Copies of this chain bind each other. A is one copy, B any other.
Amino acid sequence: MILLTRRAEFSASHFYWIDALPEAENQRLFGKCANRNGHGHNYTLEVTVEGEIDAVSGFVVDLKQLKELMAREVVDIYDHRHLNLEIPDFKQTVPTTENIAIAIWNRLEAGVRSLGARLHRVRVYEMADLFADYYGER
C-alpha cells in the first residue's frame, strides 16, 4: 500500500454565523469571524489517495485524472466564491476548516473510487498555522 498526495489551492470568502443564535452569542462564539461582510483565505487542499501501484504504469492513480477530479469537484466550484452565500455545502453548516474538509471528502470519495483508488485523507489549510484533517467515517 502506498499513499499519493496532490495539493491544490482556492481563494474564497466566508464568515461564521448561526442564524438560530442571537448576535451577542455569535460574537462570543466566533469573534471577528462573525463579521457578516465576510473575510477570506487562500485555502490549500491536500488530497491523499491510497491503493496498489499499477505494475505497468507505476502509478497508484492517474495523476492527470486526479487533478481533473479535484478541479471539477472542488477548485472550480469553491475558488473565488463566497462559501456561505454560494456553496450549497454550507447552507446548513458553518464553513469552519473542519466542515470544509468533510464537505470536500464527500465531494471526492466516489470519484477517487472510480479512478481505482481509495480516498485516505483530506487536509485543508485555512492558513499556514491552522489546518484540519478528515479520514472519513471509520
Contact = CB atoms under 8 A, between A and B. Distances in A.
Given A58-B98, A86-B37, A93-B58, A130 B11 contact: no
Contacts of A129: 6-8
A9 interface: yes
A56 B20 CA distance: 10
What's the number of copies of this chain in the assembled complex? Answer: 6
A81 B13 CA distance: 10
Interface in A78-114: 79-82, 85-86, 93-99, 101-102
A33 B82 CA distance: 11
Contacts of A98: 2, 4, 53, 58-60
B39 A2 contact: no
A38 B8 contact: no
30 contacts: A1-B138, A2-B101, A3-B133, A4-B97, A5-B131, A6-B129, A7-B129, A9-B127, A11-B39, A11-B41, A12-B40, A13-B40, A13-B82, A14-B40, A21-B56, A30-B57, A31-B64, A33-B80, A35-B81, A37-B82, A38-B40, A38-B82, A39-B82, A41-B42, A53-B96, A53-B102, A58-B94, A58-B96, A59-B96, A63-B130
Interface of A: 1-9, 11-14, 16, 18, 21, 29-33, 35, 37-42, 48, 53, 56-60, 63-64, 79-82, 85-86, 93-99, 101-102, 127-135, 138
